[in-house]
Amino acid sequence: MARRYDPERRQRIIDAAIRVVREKGLAGLSHRTVAAEADVPLGSTTYHFKTLDELMVAALRQANESCAKAVAAHGALDDPRGDLAADLARILGEWLSGDRAGVELEYELYLAALRRPALRPVAAEWADDLTEQLSRRTDPVTARALVALMDGIFLQVLLTGTPYDEGYAREVLGRVMS
Amino acid sequence: MARRYDPERRQRIIDAAIRVVREKGLAGLSHRTVAAEADVPLGSTTYHFKTLDELMVAALRQANESCAKAVAAHGALDDPRGDLAADLARILGEWLSGDRAGVELEYELYLAALRRPALRPVAAEWADDLTEQLSRRTDPVTARALVALMDGIFLQVLLTGTPYDEGYAREVLGRVMS
DNA sequence: ATCCCATGCGTACGAGTGTACACATCGTTG
DNA sequence: CAACGATGTGTACACTCGTACGCATGGGAT
């Protein structure tokens, strides 16, 4: 890998893309908006990412990694004796109350995979990673169901505006684990 | 309400919008694409729907109604003695194998509500209607959880490309009802 | 019969878009 | 040191978009 004049250029563009999606939504993402946000010329974004899909893949992957890191750092999933349902419900709560915009961003990129085949592998990767993390505390079938249920609860909260009810989440997550 | 020269105009535009989203995705929706698909002049679409949001609301509402009608017509939810989990799992299966493009359309409009406040009420309406239908067979908390889980399962199938596993769906839906 | 206005139609404009391409710059390689 | 290629930059083009506006038309009210 040859050196660059600005070795951080590519990374700065990805960061800028994430900020743009955070603030203006995926529809506001374009080579130009990203270039402006990253304070680089237009040609620079098109050079590093020939197509917008490429840029979205990079952004989604980075968002996934930072999320996964946050979950792992939480450490709630390490103790095989704890109440997994309660732990998950608490994590969801912290996530929703803490960085709502971040969650919306993550889900917007995630859901964009529905129409953009290029994003599908990355989205699948995310679901698989999470499932695998949960598999350390329960069987794979249950883990998959837990991920599905968490996704669904998230959607209900984000789409309908219903406030998050941690007790409810703990209850139904617990049922899935029975 | 005054008569129109073409009383079906408005309806034809909505139908065309649904076809456009079905084929090209929500990103391909514009006054012009809809006008072309409906075979009406550009000015006609802007007259009936001042903004794209208005058009999307109408389209989402119509998609919801046709979906709700399909579920109701299925009649599987009427018998209070049957195995609800199995019924739901079967409905999901028929839905996914029958009209995949239709499901993607429905979800794309549904998920667009994440960023478009105008669509939120309609999306919430859909979730509430479904929850209420299920409430006739179980308690409200369980009904809400079932809707969430079904949404999550749908997402997993649509996003990761995993084939739909009816047995798995029946199993985990059953656990939520326990 | 006449007027009014909802409805329908065509066009034009400015803004924003992806993309392409020519040129500048610097690190590396020979 | 010289040449070459990777990286960075600026500009231009063709296109689509939302929106606005003027005008045509014909049904319903007076």
Spacing of A78 CA from C19 C1' in Å: 49
What's the pLDDT score for residue A1?
45
- Distance (Å, whole) CA A52 – CA A9: 17
**Which band of pLDDT confidence, cut at 50, 70 and 90, is reported for residue A8?**
confident
pLDDT of A5 higher than 70 = no
Which 3 state secondary structure label does DSSP give A17? helix
Strand D bases, protein C-beta under 7 A? 6-12, 16-22, 26-28
With both helix axes pointing from N to C terminus, report the angle between A100-112 and A52-74 in degrees, rounded to the nearest 10. 130
Percent over 70 (pLDDT), chain B = 96
Q: Which nucleotide does the CA of A48 lie closest to, via C1'?
A: D7
pLDDT of B7 higher than 80 = no
- CB of residue B25 closer than 7 A to nucleic acid strand D? no
State the smallest CA–CA distance between residue A121 and chain B in angstroms: 7
What's the pLDDT score for residue B2?
43
Question: B156 vs A127: CB contact, 8 Å cut-off?
Answer: yes
**What would the mean pLDDT of B45-69 be, rounded to a whole number?**
91
Using CA coordinates, name the residue in chain A closest to B131: A156
What's the pLDDT score for residue B44?
94
pLDDT of A81 higher than 90 = no
- Distance (Å, whole) CA B42 – CA B46: 7
CB distance B126 to B110 below 8 Å: yes
Q: Does A128 touch chain B (CB under 8 A)?
A: yes
- Distance (Å, whole) CA A109 – CA A18: 10
CB distance A73 to A67 below 8 Å: no
Q: Give the predicted TM-score (pTM) of the model.
A: 0.89
**What would the mean pLDDT of A51-59 be, rounded to a whole number?**
92
**A111, A146, A154, A157: which to substitute to probe chain B, counting the most B Cβ within 10 Å?**
A111
What's the pLDDT score for residue B104?
87
pLDDT in tens, A95-153: 898 888 888 888 888 888 988 888 999 999 999 999 998 998 899 999 999 999 999 99
Residues of chain B with CATH 1.10.357.10: 53-177
Question: A26 vs B111: CB contact, 8 Å cut-off?
Answer: no
Q: Which residues of B touch A128 (CB under 8 A)?
A: 160
State the smallest CA–CA distance between residue B146 and chain A in angstroms: 9
What's the pLDDT score for residue B170?
97
- CB of residue B48 closer than 7 A to nucleic acid strand C? yes
| A75 C-beta neighbours (distance < 10 Å), count | 9
What's the pLDDT score for residue B1?
44
Helical segments of A6-51, H only: 9-24, 31-38, 42-48
Q: Which residues of A touch B113 (CB under 8 A)?
A: 159
**From the list A27, A107, A114, which residue is nearest B107 (CB)?**
A114
CB distance A53 to A119 below 8 Å: yes
Name the least confident of A68-77, A125-134, B45-54.
Answer: A68-77
What's the pLDDT score for residue A4?
58
Q: Write out the DSSP string of B31-90.
A: HHHHHHHHT--HHHHHHH-SSHHHHHHHHHHHHHHHHHHHHHHH-TTT-TTS-HHHHHHH
pLDDT in tens, B125-153: 999 999 998 998 899 999 999 999 999 99
- CB of residue B4 closer than 7 A to nucleic acid strand C? yes
**B88, B159, B168, B170: which to substitute to probe chain A, counting the most A Cβ within 10 Å?**
B159
Please indicate whether residue B90 or residue B74 has the higher confidence score (pLDDT): B90
pLDDT of B72 higher than 60 = yes
Q: Does B150 touch chain A (CB under 8 A)?
A: yes
State the smallest CA–CA distance between residue A113 and chain B in angstroms: 6
- Distance (Å, whole) CA B32 – CA B28: 10
What's the pLDDT score for residue B5?
66
What's the pLDDT score for residue B66?
86
Distance of CA A138 to CAs A79, A143, B51, B67, Å?
Answer: 12, 6, 49, 35
**From the list B26, B127, B160, which residue is nearest A127 (CB)?**
B160
> DSSP label at A118?
G
pLDDT in tens, A56-66: 999 999 998 88
Q: Which residues of B touch A26 (CB under 8 A)?
A: 115
CATH code of the domain occupying B53-177: 1.10.357.10
What's the pLDDT score for residue B76?
65
CATH 1.10.10.60 matches B1-50: yes
Element (DSSP H or E) covering residue A141: helix A140-160
Please indicate whether residue A158 or residue A79 has the higher confidence score (pLDDT): A158
> Please, what is the end-to-end C-alpha distance for chain A in angstroms?
51
Q: If you average pLDDT over every residue of chain A, what do you get?
A: 89
pLDDT of B99 higher than 60 = yes
Residues of chain A with CATH 1.10.10.60: 1-50
**Which band of pLDDT confidence, cut at 50, 70 and 90, is reported for residue A2?**
very low
Q: If you average pLDDT over every residue of chain B, what do you get?
A: 89
